[in-house]
Amino acid sequence: MSSPNLLYDAIAIDGPAASGKSTVARLLAERLNLIMVNSGEMYRAVTLAVMQHGVNPCDPITVADLVKTINLCCIVENGGSQILLDGEYPGSALRSDNVNAAVSAVAAVPEVRHLLVALQRGLLQHGDLVMEGRDIGSIVFPNTPYKIYIEASEEIRRQRRAAEGQTDSVGERDRQDSARKTSPLVVPDGAEVIDSSQMGIEEVVKTALGVLETRGWFDRESERNLV
Ligand code: DC
């Protein structure tokens, strides 16, 4: 189990921008009846708040001060987690070009990470979940055996974002996310790496299901029933 104190388990999916991890996590959530958590949306919501308050995203001291005052919460409904900023779902504003450009700087601020990691861990009280992000297997749930790291070449990832109609310098974001001091993007200890560059999404999901099977995901129900 991810934590000896909790009944539920977490599947951690990490990887760089546009590697396909959100789609894989969503499909795993649908097929395995899990709560789906997109942790990147939480960092995007904080970034949106930073911009709404006119704070410079590259000023970590002011960002850290602001984070103490913003009203951010996470609810679980319809099989997924939703982030609320001032009681409202921020919707497509989370994926604006401005947020894309500023989110890595905001995500590097330790106070931001501290707040969001606590929110993320708290979601495990609601049920088994699959959470995707950059530090899920390394920091948020380091004890889970269910860790997958999805990667793809930078060119393929850039093409995927362009096909979605987004302006997103994925390579630059990855460099910032990998270089930051606090919780950088890494392949977590014990994670299975899947390179999705030449794979269709179904193949990636099938590979991920194979990893989970090998690591005992499907044996947990019988183990739980014995407790
Ligand atoms: O998954 P995404 O591209 O929506 O994430 C947006 C940014 O949030 C990403 O560039 C880095 C940050 N992030 C993070 O630092 N840690 C996470 N667990 C998830 C996202």
- Residue 21 CA, ligand 1 centroid: distance in Å: 11
**What tokens does 53 get?**
């308050």
Whether residue 37 has pLDDT greater than 90: yes
- Residue 159 CA, ligand 1 centroid: distance in Å: 19
* pLDDT score recorded for residue 170: 83
φ/ψ bin of 195: left (φ > 0), alpha (ψ from -120 to 50), beta (otherwise):
beta
- Give residue-wise pLDDT tens across range 113-129: 999 999 999 999 999 99
* Alpha carbons 97 and 10: distance in angstroms, whole number: 31
* Alpha carbons 181 and 168: distance in angstroms, whole number: 23
Residues 6+ apart with CB under 8 A from 168: 17, 18, 97, 100, 161
Q: What is the mean pLDDT of residues 38-52?
A: 97
Confidence of residue 61 (pLDDT cuts 50, 70, 90): very high
Choose the residue to mutate in 11, 24, 38, 39 for probing ligand 1, maximizing ligand atoms within 8 Å of C-beta: 39
Residues with CB under 6 A from ligand 1: 17, 39-40, 43-44, 103-104, 107, 133-136, 173, 177
For ligand 1, atom 20, name the residue with the nearest CA. 40
Whether residue 134 has pLDDT greater than 60: yes
Q: What is the mean pLDDT of residues 11-30?
A: 95
For ligand 1, atom 14, name the residue with the nearest CA. 134
For ligand 1, atom 8, name the residue with the nearest CA. 40
Whether residue 66 has pLDDT greater than 90: yes
- Residue 105 CA, ligand 1 centroid: distance in Å: 10
Judge whether 127 and 33 are in contact, CB under 8 Å.
no
* pLDDT score recorded for residue 6: 60
Question: DSSP label at 33?
Answer: T
Whether residue 2 has pLDDT greater than 70: no
Closest C-alpha among 127, 124, 148, 133 to residue 3: 124
For ligand 1, atom 10, name the residue with the nearest CA. 104
Confidence of residue 209 (pLDDT cuts 50, 70, 90): very high
Sign for the CA dihedral angle at 176, 138, 110, 160 comes to: positive
Q: Which ranges in the chain belong to alpha helices (H)?
A: 21-32, 39-52, 60-67, 97-107, 110-122, 154-163, 170-179, 201-214, 220-226
- Residue 135 CA, ligand 1 centroid: distance in Å: 9
Q: Which amino acid is at 43?
A: Y
Question: Domain extents for the chain?
Answer: 10-225
The architecture in CATH of the region 10-225 reads 3-Layer(aba) Sandwich (3.40)
- Give residue-wise pLDDT tens across range 141-164: 999 999 999 999 999 988 988 888
Average pLDDT across the chain, whole number? 92
Terminal Cα distance for the chain, rounded: 13
- Residue 4 CA, ligand 1 centroid: distance in Å: 27
Which atom of ligand 1 is closest in space to residue 21's alpha carbon?
1
